[in-house]
Amino acid sequence: MLMRDFIEDSLYNPNYGYFSKQATIFNPGEPFDFNSIRDDLDFQKILGKRYIEFEDELDEKNFNEARQLWHTPTELFRPHYGEAIARYLVTNYKLAHHPFHDLIIYELGAGNGTLMLNVLDYIRDVHPDVYERTQYKIIEISPALAALQSSQLTASASDRGHESHVEIINRSVFNWDIYVGAPCYFIALEVFDNFAHDSIRYDPFTEQPHQCMVLIDNEGDFYEFYTKQIDPVADRFLRVRHAACTRPFKHPLSGSRLVRTFKAKLPFAANLTVPEYVPTRLMQFFDTLRDYFPLHQLVTSDFNDLPGRISGYTSPVVQTRYQRRTVPVTTPLVQQGYFDILFPVDFAVMEDVYRAITGKLTSVMSHKEFLEQWAYLEETRTISGENPMLSWYKNASTMVGVS
């Protein structure tokens, strides 16, 4: 099978996929009172304590030494992070679509459903006129997470009030076949990093690309095999990137060709370059937006770099968790369902490819810059003046559509 098919199967297979069966998203309980926390170091200590308490409680119900647990900015900075997203949405909605259209929000991969609740709470409390016209639709591939999101809507009397405004659609966005002709906002937070990629290596002399196939032997071991036959999806991505990208980007053929060929002639040199992981699934997601959500406005945030990546260009971090410790490995060819495989997003390439496919304009900024514009920063400022919501996630960027 193709590398992207292997990765997608590992992460999303409904029977054993990482997100379908293994993943647990940390819930810190009560929101942090940042104004009473001494500084960022004190916040880390409090967070560490809550992490232990959260997992201890889970182990009392069902002990699991291989539990896959991670956190998101939505959970850590609840409700302030979600309210920043909500301010952006309402402001742009009022400028572009109110009062002629409803506020329609799609969220891809909504995790615990926390962002949904924070956004709807804010709109209901601050903009009740807009709330009456708000529809919030979640597209969730994981049955377990879709069920969790549904349960969130009935957790309290306040949350139950949102039920008539919410629809949870348990399906893959790549199987989407419903045309949405109305203007809408499409949120994808820390989703693109888990989209499947293809692995491409190049002949250092001819520069011909070779695509990775994953072979499985009779013993169940995995092997990489590279072929000159590039499948239509990967071939199209390479062509679109070549035509669309206006800025230089790092890949195995960048740099001096003379130096590259010289190194390739050295004894024991590999006959192909190191791999490049290309976001073919992300390109197909943009196709879905263009074909079925033509009037969408994208709001996305993700990691632009990740520490501990395996060898290659835009290569992933591959890791699991065992006995509450993170265990990194050096290959994506791992036991399906037990390892997170997450990629950094090259926002310059993504922006150019998105513009070329959808014809829409965009703006890219750092995670911090977006929050400085849309968050009430005094709510997450510690006694020392440090602001964890700004200082954390320095390796994240945000891209939004421009009306």
Q: Which residues have a Cβ under 8 Å from the Cβ of 44 and sit 6 or more positions away?
A: none
pLDDT at residue number 256:
84
Q: The whole model's pTM is what?
A: 0.94
pLDDT at residue number 382:
98
Separation between Cα atoms, residue 46 and residue 343, nearest integer Å: 29
Write out pLDDT tens, residues 238-255: 999 999 998 999 999 988
Residue where the block lists tokens 């060929």: 261
Residue where the block lists tokens 């409390």: 125
End-to-end CA distance of the chain: 40
Give the CA-trace dihedral at 307, 310, 314, 320, to 10 degrees.
-70
Confirm if 175 and 144 have CB atoms less than 8 A apart.
no
Pairing of strands 68-70, 276-278: unpaired
pLDDT at residue number 157:
63
Helices 347-358 and 232-244, axial angle in degrees (round to 10): 100
Confirm if 290 and 283 have CB atoms less than 8 A apart.
no
Separation between Cα atoms, residue 41 and residue 83, nearest integer Å: 25
Confirm if 114 and 80 have CB atoms less than 8 A apart.
no
pLDDT tens, per residue, the chain with 403 residues: 999 999 999 999 999 999 887 778 999 999 999 999 999 999 999 999 999 999 999 999 989 888 888 889 999 999 999 999 999 999 999 999 999 999 999 999 999 999 999 999 999 999 999 999 999 999 999 988 999 999 988 877 666 789 999 999 999 999 999 999 999 999 999 999 999 999 999 999 999 999 999 999 888 899 999 999 999 999 999 999 999 998 999 999 988 888 888 888 888 888 999 999 999 999 999 999 999 999 999 999 999 999 999 999 999 999 999 998 999 999 999 999 999 999 999 999 999 999 999 999 999 999 999 999 999 999 999 999 999 999 999 999 999 999 7
3-state secondary structure the chain: CEHHHHHHHHHHCCCCCHHHHHEEECCCCCCCCHHHCCCHHHHHHHHHHHHHHHHHHHHHHCCCCCCEEECCHHHHCCCHHHHHHHHHHHHHHHHHCCCCCCEEEEEECCCCCHHHHHHHHHHHHHCHHHHCCEEEEEEECCHHHHHHHHHHCCCCHHHHCCHHHEEEEECCHHHCCCCCCCCEEEEEECCHHHCCCEEEEECCCCCCEEEEEEEECCCCCEEEEEECCCCHHHHHHHHHHHHHCCCCCCCCCCCCHHHHHHHHCCCCCCCCCCCEEECHHHHHHHHHHHHHCCCEEEEEEEECCCCCCCCCECCCEEEEEECCEEEEECCCCCCCCCCEEECCCCHHHHHHHHHHHHCCEEEEEEHHHHHHHHCCHHHHCCCCCCCHHHHCCCCEEEEEEEC
Separation between Cα atoms, residue 239 and residue 190, nearest integer Å: 26
- What would the two tokens of residue 182 be? 């109305």
Write out pLDDT tens, residues 166-195: 999 999 999 999 999 999 999 999 999 999
Q: Which residues have a Cβ under 8 Å from the Cβ of 369 and sit 6 or more positions away?
A: 398
348: buried, middle or exposed (CB in 10 Å: 19+, 13-18, 0-12)?
A: middle
